Structure 1
Amino acid sequence: MYIPEHFLMETEFIYQSIEENPFSILVSESKNVMEATHLPLLLSDDKQSLVGHFAKPNPQKESVGKEVLCIFSGPHCYISPTWYETDRSVPTWNFTAVHVRGILNIVDDPEKIQRSLITLVNRFESKDSKYQINSVDTNYIEGLKKGIVPFEIKITHIEGKQKLSQNHSIERRNLVISNLELMPGENEKAIASLMRKSLNQ
């Protein structure tokens, strides 16, 4: 990913961004064809790997032992030149994104698979939810497991980009923030919040 120095995301925020935006695009090459799967990936506790699973028919399961690319997209939005203090400007797009490269390996340890599925459910199910995966019929769960291919991606390289108008003046950045905060969209408000934080760094 092309990252000018002033858009470089700090390591701490990279991990935070993955935690906050776990639905990723996993890209790999299979038989000279580029394949991509949209799926949630969770960062391991030691931050050394990503954990997830494919549907069994997915051809990307053949990427075992190969390097894959995982793309995590954060908030993003259009930036209008009408928000600037000058007419000598053009539109742009502010966003955050993280790219992770790593080696994909299939997980076949039953206990590890079970733990990963429980972790996945607990991560996304609301805290007051009545659903408990451990209370679901064991035979039913075991049947569903036959239809997935659990995997772990050992991270080899990680990088993040946060394009938040850092290449503009403080005055202009404040104008952009003010306009974004007036908009109803969640992406616009999220970018405004990140821009405001970046002013204080």
Structure 2
Amino acid sequence: MYIPDSFKMETEFIYQCIEENSFSILVSENNGEMIATHLPLLLSDDKQSLIGHFAKPNPQKDSFGKEVLCIFSGPHCYISPAWYETDRAVPTWNFIAVHAKGILNIVEDPKKIHTSLVKLVKKFESKDSKYKMDQVDTQYIEGLKKGIVPFEIKITHLEGKQKLSQNHSEERRNLVIKELEILPGENERAIAKLMKDSIN
């Protein structure tokens, strides 16, 4: 990923972005072709791996032992030059994104598989949800496990980009923030907050 120095993301914020934007695009090469799967990935407790699973028919499962690329996209939005104090400007897009590269390995340990599935459910189910995985029929869960291929990606390279108008003056950035804050979209408000944080 092309990242000018002013847009580089600090390591701790990279981890935070993965935690907050877990639905990833996993890209790999398979039989000479590029292939991608959209799926949630969990960051391991030691922050050294990404954990997930494929549906068994997914041909991307054959990428085990190979390097893969995982893309995590955060909030993003259009930035209009009409918001600037000058007419010598062009449109752009502000966003945050993380790329993680690593080696994909198939997980076969039943205990690790079950733990990863429990963690996945726990992360995304609300705290007051009626769904409790440990209350679901065990045979039913075991049957469903036969339809997935669990994996772990040992992270070898991690990088993040936060393009938040850092290449503009603080005055102009504040003008952009003001315009974004009056727009109704969640992405616009999220980018406005990130821009504020980057100034303070």
2:153 corresponds to: 153
One-letter amino acid matched to 2:41: L
SS state of the match for residue 52, structure 1? strand
- Residue of structure 1 in register with 2:27 after alignment: 27
What one-letter code is carried by the residue in structure 1 that aligns with 2:137? D
- Alignment partner of 2:46: what SS? coil
Q: How does 1:69-108 map onto structure 2 within 5 Å?
A: 69-108=69-108
Q: Measure how far apart 1:194 and its partner are.
A: 0.1
* Cross-structure match for 1:164: 164
Question: Equivalent residue for 1:44?
Answer: 44
For 1:157 and 1:176, the matched residues in 2 are separated by 33
d(CA) in 1 for partners of 2:66 and 2:179?
A: 45
Deviation at 1:113, TM superposition (A): 0.3
Q: Distance in 2 between matches of 1:48 and 1:12?
A: 13
Please give the alpha-carbon distance, in whole angstroms, between the structure 1 residues aligned to 2:161 and 2:46.
Answer: 22
Aligned residues: 200
TM-score (norm 2): 1.00
Question: What SS is found at the alignment partner of 2:175?
Answer: helix
1:187 alignment partner, SS class: helix
Aligned-partner Cα distance in 2 for 1:18–1:64: 22
Q: For residues 103 and 71 of structure 1, what CA distance do their matches in structure 2 show?
A: 14
Give the alignment's TM-score, normalised by structure 1. Answer: 0.99
What amino acid sits opposite 1:87 in the alignment? Answer: D
1:184 aligns with 184
CA distance in 1, matches of 2:69, 2:114: 25
Distance 2:36 2:90 in 1: 33
Number of the residue aligned with 2:138 = 138
Q: Which runs of 4+ in 1 moved over 6 A?
A: none
Distance 1:170 1:115 in 2: 47
Residue in 1 aligned with 2:117? 117
Structure 1 residues without counterparts, runs of 5 or longer:
none
Q: In the TM superposition, what is the alpha-carbon distance from 1:72 to its structure 2 partner?
A: 0.1
Structure-2 separation of matches of 1:130 and 1:97: 33
Shift of 1:130: 1.2
Compute the RMSD of aligned alpha carbons. Answer: 0.3
Deviations for 1:71-119, whole angstroms, at most 9, x for unmatched residues? 0000000000000000000000000000000000000000000000000
Deviation for aligned residue 1:180: 0.1
